[in-house]
Structure 1
Amino acid sequence: MNEAPLEVLFCILIILIFCSAFFSSSETAMMSLNRYRLKHMVGKQHRGAKRAQQLLERPDRLIGLILIGNNLVNIFATSLATIIAMRLYGDAGVAIGGLLLTLVILLFAEVTPKTLAALYPERIAFPATLILKPLLKFFYPLVWFVNVLSNGMLKMIGAHAEGADSQQLSREELRTIVNEASPHITSRHQGMLTNILDLENATTEDIMVPRNEVFGLDLDDDDITLIEKIRSSEFTRLPLYQGDINNIKGIAHLRHASLFFDKQGRFDRQALIEASSKPYFVLENTPLHTQLFNFQQQKKRLGIVIDEYGAVQGLVSLDDILEEIVGEFTSNIADNVEEIFPQKDGSYIIDGTINIRDINKSLNWELPTDGPKTLNGLLLEYLETFPDADAGLRIQDYGFEIMEISDNIIQAVRARALPAIEEN
């Protein structure tokens, strides 16, 4: 080697530096690959993705191969650079060659190729697998030996290469991925995906129609009243009860309204009862994703929400759960009633019976939802007494002024966001 021409030595040195750059960029590119995109590409039968997935099944072997190759070429490059420098500068060439080679390797074999690989991992990793796979087979005995020693040291500190993280995602991590994918997913679809993830955090009690707002048929009413309710209803399914909503007799489907009348066109109360289906009861604390599955399994579209004592709390429908995912899509008259009215001074006049979750969604507020479900219930909980009109209070960073009370219910409230209170 000492007698070889300098030109040959320089050519060999350049080749070694290129090899070092290859191993450095391959390591960064392979480790930077998006595992979920990689699985998708494997499903599409992408050859480079298949090779990369095979190598990544045992990352300890892949890393062992790359580091063996990288260290070999770097050590040989160092020795060669020392020989060249000593022939050019004598004994001082040892220091000069070391400094120059360090700069060259950092620039051309480490920082630049690794940065490029981090920016474009697929462009670097997939072609690199064409070389890495054969190299792994060729150096397998050496790689195996190094891995045995390395894995033994890992076991001494309680780590296991075979028990590596499977990269399963939690719900919050999946939400982050959905939010970060905004350039590739429309905002509407992005919202639907996050709403599906939120179903687990809400219960039927959160979205139900409360019992005081339930529109149904009371069998204690006279025939004229029942007929008028049937004709004027904007709902297709109505609870059938007697005297009190807790005494549910069934669910009347207005699609069968013709069965409620005899051949002479007279209203038949008994026919109404017989044509009604059995009520389907739902516990108030059932998570929405579970209730959606239950509706599907039971072939139901309307549930009677009850508490732990069996008392009726309200109604929940399949449409209500679907609207939690896709947003409002019904055309019922009741769905078009406004409950939040913006004012010129920046405040809002809000119906006291509105669901707190609806306020948070509409105004992007963060009112507490782990207690009462309606604004009326939240205000009464904080006041701890039944207030007079014009009473005011602050809940977190929001101010409320009670404007109207009737039937023991807060009917109207003026609300506004307040400046946050600074903690000393």
Structure 2
Amino acid sequence: MNTELIINIVLLAGCLLFSGIFSGSEVALFSLDPEKVRRRERKGFTNHYLRILLEYPKRLLVTLLIGNNIVNVAASILGVNLALIVAAEYKIDKDIALFAEISVLTVSLIFLSELTPKVIARKNPEKFAAIIAIPMYLAYSFLYPVAEGINEMLRLIFTKFKLNNSVSALKNDELRQLAQVGLERGTIEDNQQRIIDSFVDFRNKTVREIMKPRLDIIALDAEVTFTEVVEAIKKSGYSRLPVYRDDIDEIVGMVYSKDLLPFLKDERKLRAFSLLKVMRKVIFVPESKFISDLLKEFQEKKIHLAIVVDEYGGTSGLVTLEDVLEEVVGEIQDEFDKEVQQIIKVDKNRYIVSGSTSIDQLNKILPDGVIIPEEDYESVGGFILSQTENFPGKNYTFTFKDIKFKVTEIDNKRIKKVLVEIYETTASD
């Protein structure tokens, strides 16, 4: 194999790789919430580059399209050159070599450089964006003059032909501000403002943020008896329970309480009862799935519950249609639900907070300018665990930004209650 052939193969592979990076970057970067990236800027150097990239989305899009087209054209040229080299080296007819090159390159570009990167980026936009942040920033800087020139040309075209280029979707901050103004002027009510805020957050929330965690799942072993199933349903108060084989990481189905009714009337059926025969299929969803996509899946498949799995395929949690809807309309209480207050105000500056309280809820009671960052945790309990190397015991205390946190109740290795005390100086700022 001659040197020229090897160089062409390496360059062509590089072009396909960069084409995939540009394609995936388009999906990943435009799936990010710029507001969240800005909040996390100080927590990682990649967020700094992501913030710069997302600052001018039109220029970024032009840069990605230019970069993608450049490497695709380069791949086509290298592919033709490679076909001619192979034809000469191995005495193959040029037309056959070129036809084979076009076929292979087309399939490679579609599947390896377009579809695969976009699917990966769609499933894990934040991870993908973190990996490509610096390469994309370098490409953005290098192609900036060209992208800016094309942007200016497009602006002139829109101006010349009086095309409407000013209409754009409201950003999250703008929508919140409009809702706040409406509340202050009396045009909308408090509960309407809360729903608008919930809708704004809804698009960017993932299943992991709203699911019932693994430890809270009530599930049945596939070998249990009919009596044990009925008792578990009565005790839990749920009409649907997951069924597992061996351990909870092997969930095989879902049992519905209404499917047990025929066994109560027929003694013969009752003697032959098998949970594996009664259970229904269950769907599995990844932690990273957006709840807006999950809602569509629930609607399409006419189901109300899914099992959440982690990156290793283990059971991570459980999510229901009710969990998804509550992200918009707030807590849905029925006559059997016991209302649990997540945050109880003790006095002016002290609160008893449940360990399962979301970071968003906690931030709402903190003074202006004091924000608990959202990182690899969603709850107050997770935040406290991130502040210590060992599992904290009862009365464990620490201070974060003039806010005192004290663990007051622990149950089975879970932080149940936390006393949050806001110092006077912080509260008055």
Which residue number in structure 2 is paired with residue 184 of structure 1? 187
In the superposition, the TM-score normalised over structure 1's length comes to: 0.56
Structure 2 residue corresponding to 1:405, chosen from 410, 415, 425: 410
1:170 partner letter: L
Structure 2 residue corresponding to 1:391, chosen from 388, 396, 408: 396
After TM superposition, list the pairs within 5 Å mapping 1:129-168 onto structure 2.
Answer: 158=156, 160-161=159-160, 162-168=162-168
| Cα separation, 1, equivalents of 2:365 and 2:315 | 28
Cα distance per residue 1:225-248 (max 9 Å; x no partner):
332112233222211123422111
1:247 and 2:250 are equivalent in the alignment: yes
Which residue number in structure 2 is paired with residue 282 of structure 1? 285
Displacement after TM superposition at 1:270 (Å) = 4.2
1:259 and 2:268 are equivalent in the alignment: no
After TM superposition, list the pairs within 5 Å mapping 1:311-350 onto structure 2.
Answer: 311-331=314-334, 333-344=336-347, 346-350=349-353
Cα distance per residue 1:363-420 (max 9 Å; x no partner):
7884333321222221111112223332211233532112233433223321123357
2:169 partner letter: L
Distance 1:403 1:226, change over 3 A: same
- Unaligned residue ranges in structure 2 (runs of 5+): 1-151
| Cα separation, 1, equivalents of 2:271 and 2:219 | 17
| Cα separation, 2, equivalents of 1:418 and 1:223 | 56
* 277-286 vs 390-399, which moves further: 390-399
| Cα separation, 2, equivalents of 1:175 and 1:268 | 59
Structure 2 residue corresponding to 1:380, chosen from 360, 376, 385: 385
After TM superposition, list the pairs within 5 Å mapping 1:104-119 onto structure 2.
Answer: none
Cα distance per residue 1:63-96 (max 9 Å; x no partner):
xxxxxxxxxxxxxxxxxxxxxxxxxxxxxxxxxx
Which residue number in structure 1 is paired with residue 203 of structure 2? 200
Distance 1:216 1:269, change over 3 A: farther
Cα distance per residue 1:190-219 (max 9 Å; x no partner):
322331121012111111111101123233
Residue aligned with 2:276, SS: helix
| Cα separation, 1, equivalents of 2:340 and 2:279 | 29
Which residue number in structure 2 is paired with residue 230 of structure 1? 233
| Cα separation, 1, equivalents of 2:285 and 2:272 | 27
Displacement after TM superposition at 1:263 (Å) = 0.8
1:278 partner letter: K
Q: Which has the higher Rg, Structure 1 or Structure 2?
A: 1
Which residue number in structure 2 is paired with residue 171 of structure 1? 171
| Cα separation, 1, equivalents of 2:254 and 2:361 | 27
* 269-278 vs 359-368, which moves further: 359-368
Which residue number in structure 2 is paired with residue 142 of structure 1? none
Cα distance per residue 1:235-264 (max 9 Å; x no partner):
222111234221112111212221354612
Q: Is the 8 A contact 1:261 1:271 kept in 2?
A: no
| Cα separation, 2, equivalents of 1:246 and 1:265 | 33
Displacement after TM superposition at 1:315 (Å) = 0.8
1:295 and 2:298 are equivalent in the alignment: yes
Distance 1:175 1:324, change over 3 A: same
Which residue number in structure 1 is paired with residue 49 of structure 2? none
Which residue number in structure 2 is paired with residue 417 of structure 1? 422
Displacement after TM superposition at 1:335 (Å) = 4.8
Residue aligned with 1:185, SS: coil
Distance 1:236 1:223, change over 3 A: closer
Q: Is the 8 A contact 1:260 1:272 kept in 2?
A: no
| Cα separation, 1, equivalents of 2:242 and 2:402 | 40
Identity %: 28
Q: Is the 8 A contact 1:234 1:332 kept in 2?
A: no
1:180 partner letter: V
| Cα separation, 2, equivalents of 1:192 and 1:335 | 23
Residue aligned with 2:398, SS: strand
Q: Is the 8 A contact 1:347 1:414 kept in 2?
A: yes
